[in-house]
Structure 1
Amino acid sequence: MSTPLPDDSPLLAPLRVGRLELPHRALMAPLTRNRADGDVPNEMQAEYYAQRASAGLIFSEGSQPQRMGQAYPNVPGVHSVEQKAGWARIARRVHDGQGHLFVQLMHSGRISHPHTLDGATPVASSAVRPEGSIVTWSSPDPDTERELTTLDYVTPRALELAEIPDVVAGYAHAARLAVDAGADGVELHGANGYLIHQFLADGINRRTDRYGGTAANRARFAVEVARACAEEIGADRLGIRVSPLNPFNGIVENDDEVYDVLVDALAPMGLAYLHVVGTRNQDFVLRLRKAWPGIYVLNTNFEEYSTREDMAGLIADGVADAVTVGRPWIANPDLVRRWREGAAENEPDQGSLYGGDHRGYTDYAFLHDAA
C-alpha cells in the first residue's frame, strides 16, 4: 500500500483541454500494443480502451494516417472506411464509460520496412537509414503465408517536394475520419523519431529545399500539418507531441532551437495542448512551458517510473498542467482509483506488451476483482 492521494491533490484537479472538461490531470499516454489484425481497430481494442475510460484523457496508440505511414504490423490506421468504423466502436465504448479519446496520428516515415508496406520503400525527410532492425513480416506479399520476423532497416526514400502536400493532406483526412468516427480530437505525433521528428531533427534532415537547413525550414512540415488539421477539425480538437533531443529511433539532434521556432509558429493557432516528452531537469521543458500560451502536458518517458507522488509534484510545481502516464495504465485499468486509495498496482507483463491476444491486454484485474 502507498499513501493515498489527498482529495486536494493537484493531480486530481479538473482541467479544461480544448473543448473537454477533464475530471483530473492523469492522462493515458499513447501505447503501441500491436493488436489490430489487418490494421483495423477491433472489438478487443474497444474493450481495452473502455476499461481505461477513467483516465482524464486517453491518447490512442500511434495510428498511421496513410498506408505509407505504417511502422509495424497490426497497428491500426485512420485512412479507410473499415478503420473509421473500428474507431467509432472504440469511441462509443470510451464515451459510454464517461471517458475522452484523442486518436494519435503517427506517420512512421523511415521507421518501417518494405515488408510492412507491401514492397514499397519507406519515405522520410531525407535518405538516411536508421541503425538497427525492426519487427516486420517475413514477406512483402500480403496474399502469402507469412509470419513476424526481425529485419534490418533499409535506406528510405526522401520525399520529393511535390509529394509533401499529399502527405500533409493525408494527415488532415485522417483527422477528419477520426473526429467523424466520434473521437474527441487527434494528436500529431511529432516525437520519438517518426516522420514529423525526421523533418525537425537537424542530424536526420539533410534537405536543401524549403523544408531543410534552417530551424524555420525544418519546422515547416510540422506547422503545415498542424495548420491543415486545425482547418479541418478545429484547433481546439488538435494537439501535438514533441520530444526534443530524444535519440529514440536513431534521431540525431544537435540543438533544440527548432522547438522554439515551432512553438512560436503553433502558439497563435490555439491548439488544445502541447505534449512534451522530457524530464523536469531538462532546460527545454521549462523553456517551452514558459513560451507556450496554452495547456502544457508532460510525459517523463522511460527516464522514471510514473509514481503518483512524482506526477502530482510536477503539477504542483508548475512544470506542467497535466501529465501522461504509460506503463502504469497498461496493467492498471483503474489506475486513478488506485492512486486515490493508495492501493497496490499490478505489474505489467513485459512478454505481452506487443502483439498477442487478450492476455496481458484486457485481463488485468480491477480493484473490485481483487476484493
Structure 2
Amino acid sequence: MKTIVHEIPYSPASNLDEEIFTASSVFFDIETTGFSPAHTSLYLIGCAYHIEQMLYIKQFFAETPEEEKEVLEQFLLLLDGFDTIITFNGIGFDIPYLKAKCNTYECNEHFADFTYVDIFKSISQIKHILQLPNYKQKTIEAFLGIGRDDLYSGGELIEIYHSYTKEPRPDKLEILLLHNYEDVLDMPALLPVLSYVHLFYGQYLSCSASVSEYTDYKQQKKKELILSIEPEFPFPKHISCRIGSVYFYAKGKKCTLSVRLEEDALKYFFPNYKDYYYLPAEDTAMHKSVASYVDKEHRRQATAATCYTRHEGSFLPQYEELISPSFKHDYKEKISYFELTEKFLSSPELIKSYVNHLLDAIKNKKIK
C-alpha cells in the first residue's frame, strides 16, 4: 500500500468555508472498481483536512486488490481525529460502500457517530433552481469556474487500475492518483455552492419590501412586489429563474424575489355556505338573515363555489394559508391571495414571513 501526502497553503475562500470546513472536519472521496462492494475492489481513498493555514491531502492507495483492507484500516484511523465528514454523494455511495467493506473485514467503524455534510445531497434539493446539465462533481466545478488537469471519469479509471495491478507503471499511477487528488482538492472550493441552499432554508441577514412598476410584453403598466434579501453567505455565481409569478435573482451579496401583483376583483369565500343565499344578479352571496328579504326568484341557496363576495385590490399569491383574509379567482383554485396593504409593507415581521413562505414554496416546488 502506498500513502501519499500533499501539503498546500490554505485560507478559507468565504465565511461559509469557515463555518463548514473547520479543523474538526475532513473531506474524503473513494475510488472503486464498481458499485457493488461484494464484487468490486476499493483501491484508493483520498482525504483533505486543514491544520491552521495548511491543507493536507492524504491518499491511501492499494497497489493490488489484496491491500484494500489496509487502505480501509488506515482511513479509519485517520477519521478518529475528526467529528464531521464532508463528501460529494458520500451518503448515497461512499459511506454505504465502506460500511459493507468494514463488515466483510470485521473492521470496527463508527460512521454513525459523525456529522455529515453531503454537497451533492444538499444541492439536489434545488436542482430546479440551479438548472445545470447534471450534478456531477465536475459539472459543479465548471459552474463555479474551477479548473482541472484530470481528463478521466471514475469509470474510465477502472481499466487503468486493472492494468496497473498487472503492470505497475508510474504513468498509470499518476493518472489514478490525479483524479482522486483533484476530487478532494476541489471539494473545499465547492462549498460556496451551498450558499444557495442556505438561503432556501431561511439563512439570511435581513429583508425589505417595495412596490415597483414594470411594462409587460403587451406594453401595459403592471406592478410587482420587490423583496430584497441580504444573504448570510455571498453567492458565487449569478443565477436567475422565473417560477410561476415569482422571479428569483441571486448574485454576490444581492438577492431579490419579484412577485407580480394580481390587480383584480377576487373572491372571498364565506366558510359556512349553508347560511347564505347566492344572488345571481349581484354575483354575490348574502347571509340568510339579510337575504331572506330578497325575492325568492332573485336568490338561491349558496353552494361552496358560490358563497363569496368580490373585493377589488392588489393581491399577492400564497401557496398555503399564511395571511388572512385570503382570496381566490375560483373556489377550486389551489393557491390563494392576500391583499397588499400598507400594514404589510410597514411590518418587518410580515415581510420576513412572506419571504420565508416564498423560499419554501420555491424549494419544495409548490409554485407552478
On whether the aligned pair clears a TM of 0.5, the verdict is no
> Structure 1-normalised TM-score?
0.25
Query: Which of the two has greater strand per residue?
Result: 2
> Structure 2-normalised TM-score?
0.25
Tell which structure's C-alpha radius of gyration is larger: 2
